[in-house]
């Protein structure tokens, strides 16, 4: 068996994939209709929309089979994203890359595979629309053309999801995306009995920037703040702009004390960034951290409400001590 190599742009590719904000979201009819259509058009038992993470593939849609993930090192899709066009394996037993692959030698074996890479608007190949059969079969030029058309539709749906869950100004997750993805993250923490911490962030004296320097400079300040968040927080953390000058971060796997340390480092980076950019303002924020207890879980809404209350208490205290 030949495990798929990593693309030359792997780090960039993963960043583009995660920026879609779609990983581990629930099944959606707009993707499921494409895999159902692919099954019917090609007469195959299995069709998938597969997205390639660092060490596994995750199925946004899977028709004809159960399961949500599979290892990347045995995947056909891992090989498909290395190509610019449709990858066709008409008989896996006759292909040196796959003839002894466990997917080929095991129960309900893969014999035929065709997968078309799915690209982001920036060109990163993040996954495939693919079809699988348990019997070897031919796949001609017209078939490839049809699979490309279906893949183009899947790409459009990926972009639509990103647009709906991204903040237009700062290009980070918006409220809608955070409420969806945040609750999914908390559900996973509860299932795995892991801690998490949520903090509400509110810019201090942001109105003064708008009033004295203008709304264009205010927008620049919001973008600066979001850029600092992108640098400071981990891929595992979920951060978003809820609206106006209000932001939020969900730290997966961190207890409150650890989250406080991360916020202190974030504040130092924010101040350095502002100085390096020679801005006419300083950015400061008030925050309120609450810890998620997997043994006594609260909903995302409840955590947000509690964090918001703590943030406003901190902001009030800061005003009193100026």
Residues 6+ apart with CB under 8 A from 88: 113, 114, 139, 144
Query: Is the model's pLDDT at 321 over the cut of 70?
Result: no
- Which strand (E) or helix (H) includes residue 164? helix 141-165
187 and 89, same structural domain?
Answer: no
What is the predicted pLDDT for the residue at 181? 84
Residues 216, 201: Cα–Cα separation, whole Å: 21
Task: Please report, for the domain that includes residue 45, its CATH number.
Answer: 3.30.450.40
Helix, strand or coil, per DSSP, at residue 85: coil
- In the chain, how many domains are there? 2
143 and 110, same structural domain?
Answer: yes
Q: Which of 140, 164, 188 is the last residue of a domain?
A: 164
Q: E strands within 143-237? A: 196-203
Q: What is the mean pLDDT of the chain?
A: 93
224 and 157, same structural domain?
Answer: no
What is the predicted pLDDT for the residue at 322? 60
Give residue 118's domain range.
10-164
pLDDT category at 315 given cuts 50, 70, 90 is confident
250 and 150, same structural domain?
Answer: no
Query: Is the model's pLDDT at 93 over the cut of 80?
Result: yes
Higher-pLDDT residue of 185, 5: 5
Helix, strand or coil, per DSSP, at residue 95: coil
- How large is the average pLDDT for residues 105-127? 96
Residues 6+ apart with CB under 8 A from 170: 222, 223, 225, 226, 241
Query: Is the model's pLDDT at 289 over the cut of 70?
Result: yes
99 and 35, same structural domain?
Answer: yes
Distances (CA, A) of 258 to 188, 231, 269, 290: 20, 18, 17, 12
φ, ψ dihedrals at 282, nearest 5°:
-110, 140
93 and 214, same structural domain?
Answer: no
Q: Summarize pLDDT for 228-244 with one digit per residue, the tens.
A: 999 999 877 899 999 99
- How large is the average pLDDT for residues 169-185? 89
For the full predicted model, state whether its pTM sits above 0.85: no
- How large is the average pLDDT for residues 206-216? 93
Q: Which of 164, 199, 217 is the last residue of a domain?
A: 164
Q: Is residue 5 part of a domain?
A: no
Which residues are known catalytic residues? 245
How far does Cα 92 stand from its chain's mean position? 32
What is the DSSP-derived secondary structure letter of residue 121?
Answer: T
Q: Is residue 169 part of a domain?
A: no
Query: Is the model's pLDDT at 171 over the cut of 90?
Result: no
Q: Is residue 285 part of a domain?
A: yes
What is the predicted pLDDT for the residue at 318? 74
Query: Is the model's pLDDT at 265 over the cut of 90?
Result: yes
Helices and strands per DSSP (H, E), number in the chain: 10, 10
Q: Which of 101, 130, 164 is the last residue of a domain?
A: 164
Which of 26-40, 175-189, 290-304 has the weakest average pLDDT? 175-189
């Amino acid at each position: 068996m030949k495990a798929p190599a990593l693309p030359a742009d792997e780090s960039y590719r993963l960043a583009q994939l995660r920026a879609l904000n779609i990983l581990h979201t629930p099944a959606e009819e707009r993707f499921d209709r494409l895999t159902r259509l692919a099954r019917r058009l090609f007469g195959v038992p299995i069709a998938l929309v597969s997205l390639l993470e660092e060490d596994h593939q995750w199925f946004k849609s899977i028709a004809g089979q159960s399961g949500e993930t599979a290892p990347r090192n045995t995947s056909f899709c891992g090989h498909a994203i290395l190509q610019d066009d449709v990858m066709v394996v008409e008989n896996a037993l006759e292909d040196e890359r796959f003839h002894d692959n466990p997917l080929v030698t095991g129960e309900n074996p893969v014999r035929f595979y065709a997968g078309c890479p799915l690209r982001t608007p920036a060109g990163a190949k993040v996954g495939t629309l693919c079809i699988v059969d348990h019997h070897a079969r031919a796949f001609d030029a017209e078939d490839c053309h049809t699979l490309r058309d279906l893949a183009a539709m899947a790409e459009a749906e990926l972009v639509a999801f990103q647009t709906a869950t991204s903040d237009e100004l700062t290009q980070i997750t918006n409220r809608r995306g955070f409420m969806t993805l945040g609750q999914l993250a908390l559900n996973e923490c509860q299932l795995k009995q892991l801690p998490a911490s949520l903090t509400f962030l509110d810019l201090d004296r942001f109105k003064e920037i708008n009033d004295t320097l203008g709304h264009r400079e205010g927008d620049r300040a919001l973008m600066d703040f979001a850029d600092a968040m992108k640098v400071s927080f981990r891929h595992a953390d979920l951060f978003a702009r809820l609206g106006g000058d209000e932001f939020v971060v969900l730290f997966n796997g961190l207890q409150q004390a650890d989250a406080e340390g991360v916020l202190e480092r974030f504040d130092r980076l924010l101040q350095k960034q502002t100085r390096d950019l020679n801005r006419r303002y300083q950015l400061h924020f008030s925050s309120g951290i609450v810890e998620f207890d997997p043994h006594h879980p609260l909903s995302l809404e409840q955590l947000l409400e509690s964090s918001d209350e703590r943030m406003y208490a901190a902001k009030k205290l800061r005003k009193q001590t100026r």
